[in-house]
Amino acid sequence: MDSMQILLLALVGLSALVFLILDTFDSHQSSKHRVIARRGEGEKRLGSEGNRISDDEWEGVERSELEKIFGEALVYAESCQSIGEDSKLQLYGLQKAALQGPCCGSRPTALHLSARSKWNAWQKVGNISEEIAMEKYIATLSDLIPDWNKGERDEAES
């Protein structure tokens, strides 16, 4: 192997390492914006660092029905294995728009395939309000899996 081949091999390895680090960072950043997670009988709200926020800290803060259903849809979609990659990206874009607003920041380079795909999905959503993004997320999930919230409706009816 000559020095040029060794240099190219090192660059490819370094690029792969940077990609993994940025992808992990992006996944960590998106999980910091999770608003709620349903566990067992009660709802647990998560802070920006992923720690549980006590009910006392949330006293007086009302969540709309839309936010509750959106939170349930997020939890369901994250645990669902039957959603295709294209649909996951579409849901990802709507989730980012609902939690963070319109897409901002520069487009990731082509070497960062996952980050670029996610950015493209978020950018494709456009400049819509957080409420509309939540509604579209719920509608998209309902189109993909019509009875995704059947268990929730059954609990509410009983």
Q: Are the CB atoms for 116 and 107 separated by under 8 Å? A: yes
Spatial separation of the C-alpha atoms in residues 129 and 19, rounded to whole Å: 31
Cα 93 to Cα 7, 17, 39, 75, 123: the distances in Å are 37, 25, 25, 16, 7
Instruction: Write down the pLDDT at residue 62.
Output: 56
Closest CA to 93 of 65, 72, 116, 68: 116
Read off the pLDDT of each residue in 2-15 and give the average, rounded to a whole number: 66
Instruction: Please state the pTM of the whole predicted model.
Output: 0.58
Which residues, at least 6 apart from 21, have a Cβ–Cβ distance to it below 8 Å?
A: none
CA 25 to chain centroid, in Å, comes to 13
Domains contained in the chain, CATH given: 3-157 (1.20.80.10)
Instruction: Write down the pLDDT at residue 71.
Output: 92
Confidence class for position 41, pLDDT limits 50, 70, 90:
very low
Confidence class for position 16, pLDDT limits 50, 70, 90:
low
Tens-place pLDDT, residues 48-66? 444 454 545 544 445 688 9
Tens-place pLDDT, residues 100-138? 999 988 999 988 999 999 999 999 999 999 999 999 999
